[in-house]
Structure 1
């Protein structure tokens, strides 16, 4: 089979959503998540840290997160996923969301993945803020609920 045909078949399958094992997109999500969590812990000098679970080899080797509370600046926090809470206008800025154990605070870990300082806008719960992060910088925003 010519390379172009193989690529076309591969991308057509990917565009139809999650497919049968092994689905490469899910594997990529796993290792990207591993990278973001490790970067957050490293850049914060351990102040943003979540426990890692067993390596899940079924769809690419990556670690599991979210099964237990971690810590952000010494406070217990649980990872959350909510696409409606945060919007960032620059794709070089990644974010990690967590909620305090008491559910009274939202933590937004912002990571700059460029080797240059980066200006961007972040909207959290409908409130727009202008920000700048240094090269490969991290900022943890704490928002009272």
Structure 2
């Protein structure tokens, strides 16, 4: 029984650490965005890309290019173009981000934040954008398969 518990614990730890898509929650997402740009209003849905090696948020153009290199799906390309936000007023090095949110993993080349909508809101806004749920699913799928980045969602 102890061996089973140990194996199960190791499996859970391995699965959690291997995952490239983690959920932050709205409070932790706000902590990160406020650390990077305290006086800016942040709109969602949004995609932000942080270059861990160079310790800077990528510009909208750089982030869009990076995201579009992950997949050639036309829906992915248009959504990443539309939802990638301007980060020219963002300024945060690894120390600032790590102090703001000590649980943030900055262990890969990039850190991607997908500030998504909660499931209930996706359903409510379906009449405005019939592909909204499909876009959300596609983004999560592509980010979860990206080995080059540690990606987070809000919900």
Higher helix share: 2
Rg bigger for which structure? Answer: 1
Higher strand share: 1
TM-score normalized with structure 2 length: 0.29
